[in-house]
Amino acid sequence: MPRVFSGIQPTGAPHIGNYFGAMQNYVTLGEQFGKNSLYCVVDLHAITNPAASDPRELAGRTFDMAVANFAAGLDPAKVVFFAQSHVPEHQELSWVFTCLTPVGELERMTQYKDKAAQYESVPSGLLMYPVLMAADILLYKADTVPVGDDQTQHIELTREIARKFNHHYGETFPEPKAVYSQGAVRVPGVDGHGKMSKSKGEASTIGILEPLGSIWQKLRAAPTDPQRVRRTDPGNPEVCLIFDYHKLFSDLDTIQLVDVGCRTAGIGCVDCKKKLMEGVTAHLEPLQERAEGLRADPDYVRDALRQGAQEARAIAAPIMDEVRHKVGFLKL
C-alpha cells in the first residue's frame, strides 16, 4: 500500500493556494490510505524564515494550522497528523542526508534563491530546507507526496537523496513521487504578484479562515485584465486571476457565464467579483464554522497532535534504527 506524507509550514494563516493545492488532497488521500497517510505541521521548516520565527507566535500558528486542516475535513482519528518538532527523528535523519548532499545542489534550488534574495544575512537552515524535507518524507519511507508544483524541484532532490543513500548504504528508501491537485497546482496571489504565499504577507493571500468581509475587500481591489479599461471593453479571462479563482470556487454554469460575459463585455468586473464571492462564501463559511468549534475545544486539538506524534514515532523508530545500523553508528 502506498504511504503518503506531506507537510505545511506554520509561517502564516493557511490560504486558498494551500487549500486547493495541497490540503484537499490530504483529505482525499487520507480517506483512501488511512493511517498510511501522514500530515505534518512543519514548525522546524518555519524557523528557516526569520520573519515567521517569533517565539510568541509560532506555537499559536502551529495550533491554528491543525485547526484549519481539521476544519477542512481531515480527521485526525483516521490519519496521522502531528507537529514536526514533536518527532525528533526528522532532525536526526536530516543530518545524515546533509552529509550526502553537495552544497551546490542546494544553492541551485529556485525556492532557496527566491527566499534568500529577501535577506541580508541568509540562515544556513534555509539552504538545508530541502534536505530536511527529504528527511520528513523518507523517515516514513513515504512514496506519495501531495504538494503544489512549487515543490517539484524539492521532490526531485528527495529522489536523488534516496538514490544516493541507497547507493552508499544499501537499498533502503523508495523514490517518492509528487501528486498534484487538478487545476490548482499554483494559485496566484490576490495582489497579482506571482504565487500566493503565506510568507509574502496578508496582501498576497486569501485566507481560508479569513473573515469574509476582509476577503471581499481584497477581491474588490484585485487586479483584472489590464487591457479592460472601461466596462464596455471586452476582456480576456485567461489573463485574469479572478477567473482563476472562479475555476476553484464556482460551479460550471457560473464559470461559463463569466467566461462568455467577460469576452463580450456582458458582465463588469465588479459583478464578476460578486459572483465569485458567492462561491467563496458557500465554500468557506461552513469551514470557518467548523474551525470556530475546534478553537472552542483546544484539548481535542492538543490530544490529536499528541496522539499523532506517537503514531508517527512508532512508524519512524524502526526505520531510523535501520538507518543508524546501515550508516554504521555504534549500537550499545
Could you tell me which residues are annotated as the binding site for L-tryptophan? 136
Q: What is d(CA 206, CA 218) in angstroms, rounded to the nearest whole number?
A: 8
The most distant pair of C-alpha atoms in the chain lies apart, rounded to whole Å, by: 79
Binding mask 127-166 for ligand ATP (x = CB under 6 A): --------------------xx-xx---------------
C-beta of 164 vs 195, nearer to ligand ATP:
195
Cβ atoms of 157 and 130 within 8 Å: the answer is yes
Strand partners, 8: 41
Is residue 115 part of the annotated active site? The answer reads: yes
Q: For ligand ATP, which residue of 4, 5, 9, 131 counts as binding (CB under 6 A)?
A: 9
Least spacing, CB of residue 231 vs ligand ATP, in Å: 30
* Rg (the chain; Cα; Å): 21
Least spacing, CB of residue 46 vs ligand ATP, in Å: 7
270: three-class secondary structure by DSSP:
helix
Residue 21 in contact with ligand ATP, rule: CB under 6 A: yes
C-beta of 187 vs 291, nearer to ligand ATP:
187
Q: How many residues bind ligand ATP (CB under 6 A)?
A: 21
Residue 187 in contact with ligand ATP, rule: CB under 6 A: yes
Q: Which of 164, 195, 218, 247 is catalytic?
A: 195
> How many Cα atoms sit within 13 Å of 224 on the Cβ side?
24
Phi, then psi, of 5 in degrees rounded to 5? -140, 140
Residue 69 in contact with ligand ATP, rule: CB under 6 A: no
- Strand pairing report for 177-179 and 144-146: parallel
Q: For ligand ATP, which residue of 48, 84, 101, 197 counts as binding (CB under 6 A)?
A: 197
Least spacing, CB of residue 129 vs ligand ATP, in Å: 9
User: Can you spell out the DSSP letters for 173-197?
Assistant: ----EEE--TT-SSPBPTTSSSB--
Could you tell me which residues are annotated as the binding site for ATP? 9-11, 17-18, 148-150, 187, 195-199
Q: Which residues 6+ apart lie within 8 Å of 307 measured at CB?
A: 76
Q: What is d(CA 21, CA 15) in angstroms, rounded to the nearest whole number?
A: 10
Residue nearest ligand ATP (C-beta atom):
21
Phi, then psi, of 3 in degrees rounded to 5? -120, 130
C-beta of 147 vs 269, nearer to ligand ATP:
147
Structure-block grid coordinates of residue 269: 468586473
**Vertex 52: Cα angle to 47 and 55 (nearest 5):** 75
Least spacing, CB of residue 192 vs ligand ATP, in Å: 13
Residue 104: what residue type? Answer: G
Is residue 195 part of the annotated active site? The answer reads: yes
C-beta of 138 vs 196, nearer to ligand ATP:
196
Residue 25 in contact with ligand ATP, rule: CB under 6 A: no
Least spacing, CB of residue 143 vs ligand ATP, in Å: 16
Catalytic positions are 115, 195, 198
Q: Where along the sequence are the contacts to ligand ATP (CB under 6 A)?
A: 8-9, 11, 17-18, 21-22, 49, 147-148, 150-151, 184-187, 195-199
